[in-house]
Amino acid sequence: MELKKDSNAVSIDMLLIVHSEKLRAAQGTHSDRQADPGALLQRRGGLQGVGNGIRKWQKIEANDLPGHLAEKQHPQQTQVITSYDNQGTQLTVEVHPRDAMPQLFKKFSLAKRLQGDKNGNTRPRQPGGKDAHAYPWDRSSLKSMPLDLRQFEKLDIHASQVMVKSGLDELVSDLVQEANSDLERVRAIWIWICHHIEYDIVAAQEKDRQAFKITDILQTQKTNCDGYAGLFEKMCRIAGVQCMTVPGYSKGFGYQIGQSFSGEFDHAWNAVFLEGRWHLVDSTWGSGLVDKSTSKFTFLYNEFYFLTHPALFIEDHFPDNKNWQLLKPPQSLRQFENSMYHKSEFYNKGMLSAYPETSMIRTVNGKATVTIESCAPTLFMFMLNGKQEHGLLSLRENGMKLEVYPPSTGTHKLQIFAKGNSDIYSSVLEYTLKCNYVDFGAQLPSELHQPVGPSWFSEKMGIIKPSHPDPIIHTTDGRCSISFGVDEGISVLASLHGDDGPITEETQRRYIFQLHQEKRTELKVQLPHAGKFALKIFVKKRQEVGNYIFVFNYLLCCTNTKVNWPMFPESFGNWGHDNELLEPLSGVLPANRNIPFKLKLPGIAKALVKGQDTWPLTLNNEGYWEGSCSTAGCQEVYVMVLENANHNFYSYILKYKVNAQ
């Protein structure tokens, strides 16, 4: 018997009564066949999601009934066989002993269902207004019901450690030992499946997918999405919880932005009835992910797909029956295809919204802008065509702003990553950029990293109250001075980077001179030529060994083609944290000239300048060491200090070059 899917169908109660041979003879209803439940099952083949385009007909073993078939058997008692599909169509058969008088079922209205599972639980109604959640998402919760995940800590540990012993019934019994409610029973089943069943990529890629038998899934601990959903439904029914398998389209492995959906459904998930309301789960996606590059499955538990809020679930799950969206109003397939796809990590990492709200962006005057709002300060990064280039990403207290300048016309792939509370950046958004114009004047240095400009993160790392809060600094003469407060015990390091010109790895710090005054650090910057430069800021705790940590960078811009500043003098390790250089600031001195020197060198016993000869510096009343030296006959000039008056060893702290004559 085939039950056809119809959106206007209603549940019809059918009662098949089998009388004794004597009674049938008296009524003239002779038959040479008895109503044998086993024969009935073999003829029907096992009803599994009729018409859903996913699950197939399969032969049913006596000890392996599928999730959509529940049976009650007692010796010499009425046997009830109930079958139903996920659209609500239901067929119930009573088989009575020969001498028993049949009793009619209690009648229900057409809006209700008959007895549903093997434990005798009443099968609830189809989803309706009571189940619907408002669309779009109201930001209240990622879940469709109030949950405190801490309440599941012990249960989750127990469920993840349960092993298969003999069969499914014993497995479910072991899982729900620690469960005290339907919610906890569902949770235990969910955790076990997500931690023990591996996604079978080979089976999933077969064009003619066969339904998985429960015994095979338990033995191999592998299956495809149909098997995940069928197993979850079967286990819930054994545990006495109503559950349905929902087929539909999905934005999962292999999904391409903007693609349309048609033909056979490509995924299956579940709806579970808890506390008088339907809720959605996807144990396939909760168990792990498939690496696109290797096509290998990795167990990686994803809490997001357990009782997901329907307004979020619809972003990557479109059911065959709109009622299973559990939304008001429901979304059309076209809306599903065109809507922005926020990956589960978008919400797991605390994101709330993103703009633009479409996955396809067209640049305006060569630029595309993306903003993200998050519920807490979050670190972000981006990639354009696989590289961290051609964009300005600035952090905000609750989110970020990204301006992207594609280097060429055409189509570009933009990926955005977020860090959240973990140490790993995860992909949260993907856009396709359409660029028909390139603004060559907006080209950015390749060494400009993310983020750009000071933020909550730089403050967290010990850099506070910056003189320049904006990420971009414009200078007309090629010079600028940037200052900021520094927390106690923090050392700061800066470097300048450009795409062309004299800046090399050896000289990238020579165009910056660092000064310290009380609790503030000043960076004096001189640009070697016009253009755009990345000024990178690093920090490190002085008492800790290891490398400096990148915090942020500024974008320095200068359009004055006459700019040609030399490097600052080279400083050595003995250049003290509180030292200050007033003059000369240029690292290259003219030949055959007397050059004045003025420095603040706290705690120094003596100071001198050494060229062809040696010239001592004297300490004035303001605490500065002053003096002059001649550059005649020398190629280099050094500033040297004596730290201890009882010693005769002088240390080099600064080095200048002298122009050739």
Pairing between β-strand 625-630 and β-strand 594-600 as defined by DSSP bridges = antiparallel
Q: Do the beta carbons of residue 391 and residue 404 sit within 8 Å?
A: yes
Give me the DSSP letters along 592-636.
T-EEEEEEE-TT-SEEEEESSSEEEEEE-TTS-EEEEEE-TT-SE
Considering only CA atoms, which of 210, 318, 207 is closest in space to residue 255?
318
Give me the DSSP letters along 189-254.
HHHHHHHHPEE-HHHHH-SSPPPPPHHHHHHH-EE-HHHHHHHHHHHHHHTT--EEEEEEEE--TT
Give SS3 for 1: coil
* Alpha carbon 285 to its chain's center: 14
Q: Phi/psi at 26 (nearest 5 deg)?
A: -65, -30
- Which residues does residue 557 pair with via DSSP β-bridges, in sequence order? 474, 532
Quick one: which H or E segment has residue 513? Answer: strand 512-517
CB atoms within 10 A of CB 473: 18
Considering only CA atoms, which of 65, 45, 70, 41 is closest in space to residue 57?
45
- Which residues does residue 615 pair with via DSSP β-bridges, in sequence order? 609
Give the CA dihedral 615, 620, 623, 628, nearest 10 degrees. Answer: -30
End-to-end, the C-alpha distance of the chain in Å comes to 105
Active site residue 267: yes
Q: What are 533's two structure tokens? A: 């430069």
Q: Is the peptide bond before 407 cis (omega within 30 degrees of 0)?
A: no
Active site residue 225: yes
Give SS3 for 102: coil
Supply the DSSP symbol for 364.
Answer: B
Give SS3 for 452: strand
CB atoms within 10 A of CB 267: 26
10 Å CB burial of residue 574 (0-12, 13-18, 19+) is middle
Considering only CA atoms, which of 540, 516, 514 is closest in space to residue 525?
514
Give SS3 for 300: coil
Give me the DSSP letters along 120-152.
-PBP-PPP-TTT-EESS--SS-SBSS---GGGG
10 Å CB burial of residue 602 (0-12, 13-18, 19+) is exposed
Active site residue 282: yes
Give SS3 for 176: helix
Considering only CA atoms, which of 74, 80, 76 is closest in space to residue 99?
76
Find the catalytic residue in 200, 266, 282, 320: 282
* Alpha carbon 121 to its chain's center: 39
How far apart CA 460 and CA 482 sit, in angstroms, is: 19
* Alpha carbon 57 to its chain's center: 38
Find the catalytic residue in 225, 236, 435, 558: 225
Q: How many helices (H) and strands (E) does the chain have?
A: 13, 39
Find the catalytic residue in 133, 158, 196, 267: 267
How far apart CA 404 and CA 360 sit, in angstroms, is: 14
Active site residues: 225, 267, 282
